[in-house]
Structure 1
Amino acid sequence: MKKEGLRGNYRLLKRKPKQRECLSELSLNNIENRSQQKGKEITQKKCFRPFDALPTEILIYIFDFFSAKDLVMKIQLVSKLWRQLANTPMLWKNLESKQIEMKWMVRCIKCLVERRSKGKLFRGILRSLDAPVMLRKVYLDVTNAGYDDGVPTSLLREISYLSELSHPNVVKLIGGEVSGKVVYICTDYEEYNLKEYIKTSTSDKNKISNENVRDLIRQLFVGLQYIHNKGIVHRNLKPDNILISGSGTVKIADFTLSRLTSIPHGQYTPEDPKERDRSGREARRLWYRAPELLFRKDIYGFEVDVWTVGCLMAELITGQALFNGESEIEQLFKIFKVTGVPSDIYPIQAKSFPSWTPINFPDVIALKNSKTFKNVFAKLVPAREQIFTVLREMGKIIGEDGLDLLQKCLDPNPATRITAAKALSHPFLASQSPQILCPSFEFEIPNYIAQLHALESELLPSNYLNSQSNISHSMRSILIDWLIDVSVHFEVNDETLHLAVSYIDRVLGKLAIDRSKLQLVGVTCMKIADVFHERSKEYYRQENSIEYAYITADEYSPSQVVTMEKDILNLLKFRLLSPTILFFMKAYQSLLNVDQETYRIAQYLSDLMLLSYDSIFCAPSLLASAILYISCAFTQRFVEFQDKKLFFPKYSNEEFEHAVQHVKEIWLEARSNPQYTRLESINHKYQDINPKSLWPPTLLFENWIYS
């Protein structure tokens, strides 16, 4: 009894754990909304303040000498006048040039959402523009089971993708940064989301009109087409993630589950069944998932987003989710009850599902006495009578054209499902006179090449060794060769290695690094590329920093790796979509159908170019073309490209010959110095083709694309 009493007293005396608070949540940073203390109003003594008598312009000039933290924590507490002046947009615009932290730029007003793993979402005011914004705060240690392992995959991708997107129908990124153990993501604020809009527009008193459905779906497809043209699959469209402004503008938001497509398509996450179960623990996410994902297909593309738009279109009309299953198998039953059971698309046994035959959606609103109506009625009634009723109710609002578009979006075969670009030319949406603000590409690969080429001029590194007094060509080459060995050890994709080298060059072009920290920069860039590009394992506790610190023979600690990661991400402004030689190489290979033997030589030369510092002076797209040409010359297997010249970035013959000569010189150097230290790892990686025995071929430039 005494022990129990002591335990009880101990609990009474035990201090309550301190809850986290964002600086923007504190009363000091949101002084307008400070709560009354003990029911009494906060009063201030009236006293004469000489500074208050100064002209406003002079006070603002004086405040400009203070830091953002001082303005928030001190200046605005002095008086009402000072508080107003401390929040003057002009003052904060001047501070923006000093690259102040996001937590000071936003004055939070209300916490909208709070989730342990996903952080807090606030509605706030951007001080520099006096405009409403959304600020999301994510605690890195909380989201990773108590251990700060750096920025997770979902946040890396969301900030990186949004930084490259600019479209009226896509939410705008105002800023993203990591400070300490907190990641801040600031985007523009909209009044409603589609979930709230559906509740209002589908009530008995206020039915949604045909024009509203067409306008909202058209805008959604315009934004989706833009995203897809950038090579991004959203993968998480749902009513909560579709924002609607007061003027009716639709904006796609929440890119945490998005993924950049690869050419050719690779496996995307999640693949492991256990991981799939965890990622799908929110039952509502099942409602908008395409059947190929429910069948655990690990190679897919933009068509999964189009399926979701079909689900959203039906929900927008009826107010209810069209497929609201509680499990994957129940979801499949609900889907096939509407679409019919496909026979040859998925590995379905004959007895797995009832014999539901496909129907033509527009037939449900045909004249009751017509043969068409009688046929569809016989297929749906009585077993699928509810589906018949739902389709007829939707047909009353969107008509035959609307039902036809809905059926094309909900095609269970991803290969024949309509694309976002084709949906915009469908009769149901074409009458809306869509203003498509991005080009429409017929082929996916040329689109992919064009988007990468557009980034080259922005993200090419500078001639940084002139300003790096402690780093030489040889040191960089040895570092890259070691990273090749690390990439083999960790079994990461070749694209991850190329991204890491791109980050290294960009960091060294912006920041002076001591030679003792060069390996730390290299291994940290490798970790960033790994987390950003590899298949995500975010639903498990991550300890990547421990593994990457260990690979340096404990030369650096995990905390040093994490600290350097945050510095690099802020330095690069989270722009991680670097165009690399290998990205272009894979696109060219798919476009030209290059054989595997030739492509293997090209892979070796691509990695070899990473070791040469002089390669940064050639555009990756040009180097990829030169490498592919010299590889075809080596195997004597030139490809047909005459009808595909249009899809290649334009370069002159002189530029191309210079790039080919550069590749040849690096190859000759590697061949004449096979035992050189900086070539050990790459020779081991490509031992299947024995690089020491390979000699550059004789070159005939008239056989290639730029002739």
Structure 2
Amino acid sequence: MKEVSQISLPTLLCGEDESCFDNFNDERFDINFSLSPVSEFESEYIQMLIRKEAVFQSNYSVKIEGSWWKRRDAVDWILVRTVHFGFHCRTAYLSLFYLDRFLSRRSVDEEKPWAMRLLSIACLSLAAKLEERVAPSLSEYDSDGYSFGGDVIQRMELLVLNTLEWKMNCITPFTYLNYFATLFSSEFRLNRAVELIMSIMAEIDVTDHRPSVVAAAAVLAASDDHHLTNETLEIKIDAVPSWGAVEKEHTLFCYNLLQEIGMSKPDDDWMRRCGRKRRVAFIDGDDQDCPQPKTPKQ
């Protein structure tokens, strides 16, 4: 195992200075949700959250170009460790939100294969500290071939915090599931909606899609009615107050992507991927066949 506790963190970045440094083996996530009728007060509160959702316009896909595999590797690692620790699925989503926001602002040196793993550890650790009642010690985050010292992880956490301007609170799609189930009058499978949300994280830059949009698409895709027509979909989406053409387009895009995910082979299911006892390797060399982030057509 390669010891990297003495690595200088700024070396993982491209063209950055050091000023920012001055200043359980369960097979499932913790899916602790319950559905209940939405009161008028709760509906107004959800509408306030929707209006306040911050959309971070990311140029991440441009920055990493053909290296989407490295981001996919980070998603896989975060999901595996989230299952291992028994974290709530909110923690996994939040850590990916941190990761994508970070990568939209800074470049990770692709010649240092440990850099993305260290960033993944820092993002998951920060999310766990915010969401979990008991967060693991830094020494518990294994790194598949590298031994990161606690001081290195802490400094990476500080870099993430400074890069994100300490704006770490974020609404996740799971907050909206009960609301959309009520609004759409949908009979749907809650666990399936959660699984679809976890699956779509590997396919999109989560900063490009509002959490409410992802939640609405997941509720519709997990509906017991597997044959929703385009007209029915648009009627349901139009029922969301304050949403316009852009939100409708993104919801339909996410819905169609989730339908594709739902029809994928069982081996592609996110929980099966998490259950694999394997090491995910970085892809070196020519990345011309590398998958790309899914985005709505312009």
TM-score range, shorter chain: 0.5 to 0.7
Cα offsets for 1:551-587 (capped at 9, x unmatched):
5454422222111001111111211112332333344
TM superposition shift of 1:617: 3.1
Does residue 682 in structure 1 map to residue 271 in structure 2?
yes
Match of 1:580 in 2: 172
Counterpart in the other structure of 2:14: none
Gap change, CA 1:526 and 1:649, over 3 Å in 2: farther
- Tell me the equivalent position of 1:478: 73
Contact 2:53–2:210 at 8 Å: present in 1 too?
Answer: no
1:460-609 correspondence to structure 2 within 5 Å: 460-468=56-64, 472-515=67-110, 516=113, 517-535=115-133, 537=134, 544-548=137-141, 550-589=142-181, 595=187, 598-609=189-200
User: Secondary structure, in 3 states, of the residue corresponding to 1:575?
Assistant: coil
Cα deviation for residue 520 of structure 1 reads 1.1
Q: How does 1:608-687 map to 2 (within 5 A)?
A: 608-613=199-204, 616-632=207-223, 634=225, 648-652=241-245, 655-657=247-249, 659-665=251-257, 667-668=259-260, 671-672=263-264, 674-675=266-267, 679=268, 681-683=270-272
Cα distance in 1 for partners of 2:140, 2:254 equals: 36
Aligned AA (2:89) = D
Gaps of 5+ in 1: 1-99, 102-177, 181-261, 266-440, 687-707
Give the CA deviation at 1:263: 8.0
Higher strand share: 1
Q: C-alpha displacement at 1:454, in angstroms?
A: 0.7
Change (3 A) 1:503 1:615: closer
> In structure 2, do the counterparts of structure 1 residues 558 and 570 end up closer, same or farther at CA, with 3 Å as the change threshold?
same
Give the TM-score normalised by structure 1.
0.30
3-state secondary structure, aligned to 1:613 = coil
Larger Rg computed on CA atoms: 1
- Asked whether the equivalents of residues 602 and 627 of structure 1 are also in contact (C-alpha less than 8 Å), the reply is yes
Alpha-carbon distance in 2 for matches of 1:663, 1:616: 17
For the 8 Å contact 1:453–1:579, the answer to whether it is kept is no
> After superposition, what is the alpha-carbon deviation per residue over 1:610-665, rounded to whole angstroms, capped at 9, x for unaligned?
0113554332222221221222254579x9xx99977644133x752553244323
Rate the CA distance shift 1:601–1:523 in 2: closer, same or farther, 3 A: same
Q: Which amino acid is 2:138 matched to?
A: S
- Are the structure 2 counterparts of residues 644 and 671 from structure 1 closer, same or farther at C-alpha, using a change threshold of 3 Å? closer
8 Å contact from structure 1 (residues 452, 579) kept in 2: no
CA shift in 2, pair 1:507/1:627, >3 Å: same
Change (3 A) 1:593 1:556: farther
**For 2:50 and 2:137, how far apart are their aligned partners in 1?**
28
**Alpha-carbon displacement from aligned partner over 1:275-326 (angstroms, at most 9, x marks no partner):** xxxxxxxxxxxxxxxxxxxxxxxxxxxxxxxxxxxxxxxxxxxxxxxxxxxx
Give unpaired runs (5+ residues) of structure 2: 1-18, 24-31, 276-298
What do you get for the CA RMSD once the two structures are aligned? 3.9
Do the aligned partners of 1:445 and 1:591 also contact (CA within 8 Å) in 2? no
Q: 1:606 to 1:576 in 2, by over 3 A?
A: same
Q: Which letter does structure 2 place at the counterpart of 1:523?
A: I
Give the TM-score normalised by the residue count of structure 2. Answer: 0.65
SS class of match (2:201): helix
What residue in structure 1 maps to residue 286 of structure 2? none
Q: Which amino acid aligns with 1:620?
A: P
The alpha carbon displacement at 1:501 in A equals 0.6
Q: Which amino acid is 2:119 matched to?
A: V
Query: Residues 262-341 of structure 1: matches in 2 within 5 Å?
Result: none
Contact 2:199 2:270 in 1 (8 A): no
Report the CA distance shift for 1:590/1:660 in structure 2 as closer, same or farther (over 3 A): same
Contact 2:213 2:250 survives alignment (8 Å):
no
Shift of 1:513: 0.9
Question: What per-residue deviation string (whole Å, max 9, x for no partner) do you get for residues 111-134 of structure 1?
Answer: xxxxxxxxxxxxxxxxxxxxxxxx
Structure 1 residues 478 and 447 mapped into 2: Cα distance closer, same or farther (>3 Å)? Answer: same
Q: Give the aligned residue type for 1:607.
A: M
Letter in 2 for 1:579: I
Task: Quickly say closer, same or farther: Cα 1:590–1:533, change in 2 above 3 A.
Answer: farther
Pair 1:664–1:532, CA change in 2 (3 A): same
1:208 match: none
Determine if the alignment matches structure 1 residue 450 to structure 2 residue 48. Answer: yes
Contact 1:527–1:545 (8 Å) recurs in 2? yes
CA distance, structure 2, for counterparts of residue 579 and residue 547 of structure 1: 27
* Structure 2: distance between partners of 1:526 and 1:553: 18
Code of the aligned partner of 1:608: S
Contact 2:199 2:261 in 1 (8 A): no
Deviation (angstroms), 1:476 = 1.2
Q: Is the 8 A contact 1:476 1:613 kept in 2?
A: no
CA distance in structure 1 between the partners assigned to 2:148 and 2:50 by the alignment = 34
Contact 2:221 2:259 in 1 (8 A): no
Partners of 1:462 and 1:552 in 2: how far apart? 29
8 Å CA contact retained: 1:462, 1:506: yes
Equivalenced residues, count: 240
Query: Contact 1:630–1:660 at 8 Å: present in 2 too?
Result: no
How far apart, in 2, do the equivalents of 1:587 and 1:443 lie? 12
